[in-house]
Structure 1
Amino acid sequence: MSARVLITAGASGVGRAMAEAFDAAGAQVWVADVDHAALANCPAHWNRSQVNVADEAAVAGLFADIEAAWGGLDTLCANAGVAGPTALIEDVALGDWRACLSVNLEGAFLCAKHAAPILKRQRSGAVVITSSTAGQYGYPNRAPYAAAKWGMVGLGKTLAMELGPHGVRCNVICPGAVEGPRMEGVLEREASAKGMTRDQVYAGYAAGTSMGRFVEGHDIANMAVFLASDAARLVSGQVIAVDGHTVNPDPKI
């Protein structure tokens, strides 16, 4: 794959798995992240920028840097996100609601806003948005997160319509529960909110899929590489779950 790829939140977790997968496929990789230490731990041949995707000036500067260094961009992976609060809707503070939507939904919007002119001028490219199965189903005790992820699905479908005439595709990946530190935090918070153990919550998530297991970062990364490739040249406007097939988004255990 000869491509120039930007991955937001690319220094750890799912984003890091995406960056590694694109690198292995032969792409040039640029990772943006708020975590300076995680960026410092990335391979030296990756381009790296410390950026808060909720800050438009910072996002605009990132894309200016990319154009100056690369002269263009082939794939945007809008992957940055935060879990947000775990609470019943009446207990969610407005500030926490806004903070969750700011990073997840507004961050994807800002990156798409500043990537679109580059991609349209080239008349080629792809946008891959990381949403969640929470963007396909409800998610009790996680209203801000679910609302943001549903919004990202709508954003992705709209981008596909706007950018398609310019030869640019956009698709949305909806991961299920992903093994890793971020999900561990979610499990602990949900266990506390529901009066359950961490293992009970974990088992509930796994039992909610027909394959009975969590997904891993490389499962999502492989889908991102496919969607950015010529093999998916006519795949656009799609919302694709990588989740082991969710059959019950809120199992009671």
Structure 2
Amino acid sequence: MSRRVVITGGASGLGLAMAEAFVAMGDQVAVCDADPAAVASVSPAILAVVADVTDEVAMSDFLGRIEADWDGADIVISNAGIGGPAGPIEDLDFADWQRCLSVNLDGAFLTCRWAARVLKAQGAGVLLLTSSVSGLFGFPWRTPYVAAKWGIVGLTKALASELGPYGVRVNAICPGAVEGPRMDRVIAMEAQAQSRSEADVRKGFTDGVALRRFVTADEVAAMAVFLASPGAASISGQAMAVDGHTERTT
């Protein structure tokens, strides 16, 4: 039976990989994204809407449309996020700190607030949140992002307890370094902040995990598909790492 899947930040990167994975399962998928160009490039098989997750009105319009047209949802994935600035905390700009926390946490709040109401009323559903291994370890030079992703794990734990009695499962996915353009930008930013070469920073990422490689977006999407499946019926309140086993953070 086709499920109704809603994904924020779903027009590129991890969000798009998840959307395509659920479409391949035969599910009905809707995504929102703040990037109009990315939204325009999404396959017609996916309902894609331009909406910034920090804009309460835009999110209300997007989610309200889904609720009206689909009469609810079965799987909601709060995925939208940004990497934020890099550097020693004393050098960071307050506006950059606020923007990072707003996209990652305020966006999750607006998404989860809607999902909680809809899924509780149905008495069933799956809510997934994209955190990061940064939500499990204290990475230096990335304090806004780390704080936001730890917040996502805390939100996941609280919602799992809050929604569990209503038959709703809540889990966080914690990707490691995911190969692709976004990780390339993070490496360039960290290299500049630390006065190191990009090659050295990249090597540091891979050397810090047991499998000695980056993960792929498809591997993260596979975790989302599993957590939304009947095979994960007793899994809730967990922060599931897809990272090749992080062994050190510097």
Above 0.5 in TM-score? yes
> 1:5 aligns to what?
5
Give the total of aligned pairs: 250
Query: Aligned partners of 2:232, 2:44: CA distance in 1, in Å?
Result: 30
> 1:227 aligns to what?
227
Query: Aligned partners of 1:137, 1:17: CA distance in 2, in Å?
Result: 25
8 A Cα contact 2:75 2:126, kept in partner = yes
> 2:72 aligns to what?
72
- Letter of the structure 1 residue corresponding to residue 194 of structure 2: K
User: Scaled by the length of structure 1, what TM-score is found?
Assistant: 0.97
Identical amino acids, percent of aligned pairs: 52
Q: Runs of 4+ in structure 1 displaced over 3 angstroms?
A: none
> 1:163 aligns to what?
163
Query: Aligned partners of 1:15, 1:80: CA distance in 2, in Å?
Result: 8
> 2:181 aligns to what?
181
- Per-residue CA shift, 1:135-179, capped at 9, x if unaligned? 000111110000000000000011101110100000001000010
Query: Aligned partners of 1:26, 1:8: CA distance in 2, in Å?
Result: 19
- Letter of the structure 2 residue corresponding to residue 50 of structure 1: V
Q: Show the 5 A alignment for 1:52-67.
A: 52-67=52-67
8 A Cα contact 1:8 1:77, kept in partner = yes
User: Is the counterpart of residue 43 in structure 1 residue 18 in structure 2?
Assistant: no
- Per-residue CA shift, 1:95-141, capped at 9, x if unaligned? 11100000001111110001111101100100110000000001111
Query: Aligned partners of 2:119, 2:61: CA distance in 1, in Å?
Result: 17
User: Scaled by the length of structure 2, what TM-score is found?
Assistant: 0.98
Q: Show the 5 A alignment for 1:100-179.
A: 100-179=100-179
Query: Aligned partners of 2:143, 2:242: CA distance in 1, in Å?
Result: 21
Query: Aligned partners of 1:186, 1:80: CA distance in 2, in Å?
Result: 16
CA shift, 1:2, in A, is: 2.2
> 1:32 aligns to what?
32
8 A Cα contact 2:135 2:149, kept in partner = yes
Query: Aligned partners of 1:77, 1:67: CA distance in 2, in Å?
Result: 15
CA shift, 1:57, in A, is: 1.5
- Letter of the structure 2 residue corresponding to residue 17 of structure 1: A
Query: Aligned partners of 2:184, 2:211: CA distance in 1, in Å?
Result: 20
**Where do 5+ consecutive residues of structure 2 fail to align?**
none
Query: Aligned partners of 1:114, 1:72: CA distance in 2, in Å?
Result: 10
Query: Aligned partners of 2:110, 2:64: CA distance in 1, in Å?
Result: 13
**Where do 5+ consecutive residues of structure 1 fail to align?**
none
In structure 1, the residue corresponding to 2:151 is in which secondary structure?
helix
8 A Cα contact 2:79 2:130, kept in partner = yes
User: Is the counterpart of residue 19 in structure 1 residue 19 in structure 2?
Assistant: yes
Query: Aligned partners of 2:76, 2:58: CA distance in 1, in Å?
Result: 16
Query: Aligned partners of 1:202, 1:194: CA distance in 2, in Å?
Result: 13
In structure 1, the residue corresponding to 2:121 is in which secondary structure?
helix
